Amino acid sequence: MTSDYGRYPYPAYRGDLSENCVTIAEALKAAGYNTLMVGKWHLTPLTAGKHNYPLQRGFNRYYGIINGAASYFDPASLTRDNTPIEVSKDQHDYYLTDAFGDNAVQYIEGAAHKQQPFFLYAAFTAGTSTLAAWPVMSATHFGYSLPSAPVIVANTACFMKKIRTRRIKYPTSSAANMAENQRPIIWRMPAFHATHGKGAI
């Protein structure tokens, strides 16, 4: 939503949420709901001001990142309501996914005691940004530590180069593609060598 900047002829994708659309929060707030949000916003550039921040687009409370992705341990663009905030340098156990969940629970607990209906929207970043886990979590669940970001970038670049040199077409999820192949296409990243073992993304 925030990366087109008018390159394509679609008025809905101009890099900033259109004033001509109504968000679900605006519609529900008008119907009397307490509207709450945690997670990534990703509907306005940081440089555009706060006119399209969650509170200006119908939410009563917000905790999350204005960008679409950030560090799980020290996230940029972290915001509470309309105020930019930072993770305390003394808080060594901060993890973005946990913070979203903790704030969602707090919002629900606060809203549950009121007669007003509420709506909570949670937009976790894990589905769209690079997986980052505490070393103890990755060792426990995967049997090895996840590689550093440079290793992931290098492996991804290698994989993309192989696609270009072999002229492999990107898979699509269209019905025509599925009918033609009669099976889903699964891409696997090349194996990487992590600090404590081997694995594959």
Residues 159, 93 share a domain: no
Last residue of a domain, one of 64, 89, 123: 123
Residues 179, 102 share a domain: no
Number of independent structural domains in the chain: 2
pLDDT at 150: 60
Residues 188, 99 share a domain: no
Residues 29, 118 share a domain: yes
Above 80 in pLDDT, residue 161?
Answer: no
- Grouping H, G, I as helix, E, B as strand and the rest as coil, residue 79 is strand
Q: What distances in angstroms separate CA 129 from CA 53, 61, 70, 86, 96, one per listed residue?
A: 21, 24, 8, 20, 12
Residues 110, 44 share a domain: yes
Residues 160, 106 share a domain: no
Task: Tell me, yes or no, whether 16 lies in a domain.
Answer: no
Task: Give residue 172's pLDDT band: very low, low, confident or very high (50, 70, 90).
Answer: very low
CB 106 within 8 A of CB 82: no
Could you report the per-residue pLDDT of 77-101, keeping only the tens digit for each?
999 999 999 998 888 889 898 999 9
Q: Is the dihedral of CA 94, 95, 99, 101 positive or negative?
A: negative
Above 50 in pLDDT, residue 124?
Answer: yes
Task: Tell me, yes or no, whether 74 lies in a domain.
Answer: yes
Residues 110, 31 share a domain: yes
Residues 147, 112 share a domain: no
Question: Range of 118's domain?
Answer: 24-123
21 CB neighbour count, 10 Å cutoff: 9
Residue-averaged pLDDT of the chain: 74
